[in-house]
Amino acid sequence: MEYERKGEWYDVEELTDLQHAYYLLKNNKYSEAVRIFEKVMADSPTEPTAYIGALLAQNCMHSEEQLVNLPLPLSSYALFESARKNAGKGYGQVLFSYEEAQRKLLEEKEEKYLFLLEGVSKTEKNEKELSDLIGCAVELRDYKDAAAIRSQLEKDRQAFHTAKAEKKKEFWIRFLPCAVLLLTVVAVVGTLFALPKRDGLRYALTLNGYAVVDCDRDQQTAVLREKIYGIPVTEVGRNAFKDCNELTQVTLNGKIDAIGKSAFSNCRNLKGVVGAETVEKVGGKAFKDCKSLRLLKLAPDCQLARTAFRDCDRSLAVFAGDERQTVDVDA
């Protein structure tokens, strides 16, 4: 339903029930006005302007000044007087308020419409801006061409989401192989540096390959692996067999080139180290207190630390190639 005011047409749905009832009253549609006034009074029994309007409509009147001549019950007339004195806007005031409300409503709509046009004119819009503009168009409903603009904005938002999904898909297509490769590298590196354990011996990756770094304390014999994960084992690390008193024999793998400091320190029952002919360097106190050791064959020109055989038995024979070395058990 629409009505005309000062040459302009407005939607009746934009009025409150009370304003609509007074509009009907103004246009002599008394029965319709009574129905709406009574509905307002049912929802809000103390609403004074609804009471006044109902009295006017029931008696086919326009002006509240006419009500004083009606044969009303005292209680109803007293309620009318109290309403008019304390809170009632009266017929004229309600219509004036309606005029003001309509003017403000149109101003607000025009302001939102201009905001909508400004937003639509932007070449690029992000998702939030599109959502805000659609919300504004929804509020404007059928004001001017807001509905058409809303339809276009909905299409723009759908296109935006489609493009966003395509970019995300493209990103994963490019990134996934790299991510898989990275995870593979991390897994491989993690595996390599995880100190794997084989046959009671623990290995650690170094710059030159794997090194034995620890063993089970109750181990009696030890055989070094040639490779761990395809990487050669090239060293007996520092303190690797230290204090392994149960150890009697160690078999190297033929590729060990260094025995670290205190590697076999205090292995008092160690009687032999097999396959040490490739060892080119022996660290300090490497065989300290290995009192059961009698023979050790190392690589030619092997570098021996002065304290490598401290507290060993004096009968120990150490060869570097074919040359017997002088060892200082008291160093």
Tell me the pLDDT tens digit for each residue of 14-38: 567 888 888 888 888 999 999 998 8
Q: Is the pLDDT of residue 5 over 60?
A: no
Q: What is the pLDDT of residue 255?
A: 93
Q: What is the pLDDT of residue 187?
A: 63
Mean pLDDT of 183-203: 76
Q: Which residue has the tokens 């209680």?
A: 75
Q: What is the pLDDT of residue 58?
A: 85
Q: Is the pLDDT of residue 2 over 50?
A: no
Please state, rounded to an integer, the average pLDDT across all residues of the chain: 82
H-type alpha helices, 193-272: none
pTM: 0.46
Q: What is the pLDDT of residue 6?
A: 39
Whether residue 67 contacts residue 90, with contact meaning beta carbons closer than 8 Å, is answered with no
272 SS3 class: strand
Q: Model confidence at 92, in pLDDT bands (50, 70, 90)?
A: very low
Q: Is the pLDDT of residue 190 over 80?
A: no
| 97-101, 223-227, 273-277, 289-293, range with the lowest pLDDT | 97-101
Mean pLDDT of 134-141: 85
Q: What is the pLDDT of residue 139?
A: 84
User: Which residue has better confidence, 229 or 294?
Assistant: 294
| DSSP-derived pairing of the beta strands 258-259 and 231-236 | parallel
Phi, psi dihedral angles at 328 (to 5 degrees): -110, 100
Q: Model confidence at 324, in pLDDT bands (50, 70, 90)?
A: very high
Q: Which CATH class is domain 197-325?
A: alpha beta
Q: What is the pLDDT of residue 85?
A: 57
Q: Is the pLDDT of residue 271 over 90?
A: yes
Using CA of residue 197, residue 200, residue 202, residue 203, what is the dihedral sign?
negative
Tokens representing 128? 């939030």
Q: What percent of the chain has pLDDT over 70?
A: 80
Q: Is the pLDDT of residue 309 over 70?
A: yes
Q: What is the pLDDT of residue 49?
A: 76
| DSSP-derived pairing of the beta strands 272-274 and 2-5 | unpaired
Mean pLDDT of 272-295: 96
Q: Is the pLDDT of residue 98 over 70?
A: no
- Residue 282, H or E segment: strand 281-282
Q: Could you state, in order of their start, the residue ranges of all structural domains in the chain? A: 2-118, 122-192, 197-325
Q: What is the pLDDT of residue 192?
A: 54
Q: What percent of the chain has pLDDT over 90?
A: 37
| 17-31, 43-57, 105-119, range with the lowest pLDDT | 43-57
Cβ burial, residue 6 (10 Å; 0-12/13-18/19+): exposed
Q: Is the pLDDT of residue 78 over 60?
A: no
Helix/strand/coil percentages in the chain, nearest 5: 45, 15, 35
Alpha-carbon gap, residue 327 to 308, rounded angstroms: 8
Q: Model confidence at 189, in pLDDT bands (50, 70, 90)?
A: low
Q: What is the pLDDT of residue 54?
A: 84
User: Which residue has better confidence, 171 or 226?
Assistant: 226
